[in-house]
């Protein structure tokens, strides 16, 4: 690889890392405007793997806004991020895409005061847009949960 391609790869990885971190912060902070802005216009979210809903990201954001009131304290820890790029036109082209697989641990406190924690894996699909990297989709696969 040339230095230009190496630098572009690093910059894309940092931008995608910011996107995934922004996702966690938006959910944890109940910032549903920021959550919606992370997605492309046709973006989708699928929380059925954790007992939730699936659909257009804007509609899912409404569901999250209502549901997350049951969990006033939440903290997503998203780790082991594995990024696979699909860049048919190369790094300089605007049509790049990437898949991100990442594990998560999510401790939460319910309005009742009870604590529980769950964990699993996210599958994110991202694409480069004129406004930077955005999510085309997020799929949650919860693998475990338990009271704390």
Look at residue 3 and tell me whether its pLDDT is greater than 90.
Answer: no
Which pLDDT score is estimated for 88?
Answer: 64
Mean pLDDT of 34-49: 98
Helices within the chain (DSSP H only): 3-28, 32-37, 57-67
Does pTM surpass 0.85?
Answer: yes
| Closest alpha carbon to 74 in 109, 44, 47 | 109
Considering the chain, what is the average pLDDT of its residues? 92
Q: What angle do CA 73, 114, 71 make, to 5 degrees?
A: 30
């Amino acid at each position: 690889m040339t230095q230009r391609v190496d630098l572009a790869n690093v910059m894309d990885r940092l931008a995608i890392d910011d996107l995934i971190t922004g996702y966690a912060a938006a959910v944890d902070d109940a910032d549903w405007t920021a959550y919606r802005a992370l997605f492309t216009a046709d973006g989708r979210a699928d929380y059925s793997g954790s007992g939730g809903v699936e659909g257009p990201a804007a509609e899912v954001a409404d569901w999250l806004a209502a549901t997350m009131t049951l969990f006033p304290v939440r903290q997503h820890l998203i780790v082991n991020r594995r990024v696979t790029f699909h860049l048919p036109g190369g790094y300089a082209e605007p049509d790049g895409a990437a898949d991100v697989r990442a594990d998560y641990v999510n401790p939460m406190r319910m309005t009742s005061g009870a604590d529980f924690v769950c964990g699993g894996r996210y599958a994110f699909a991202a694409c480069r847009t004129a406004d930077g990297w955005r999510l085309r989709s997020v799929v949650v696969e919860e693998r475990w949960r338990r009271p704390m």
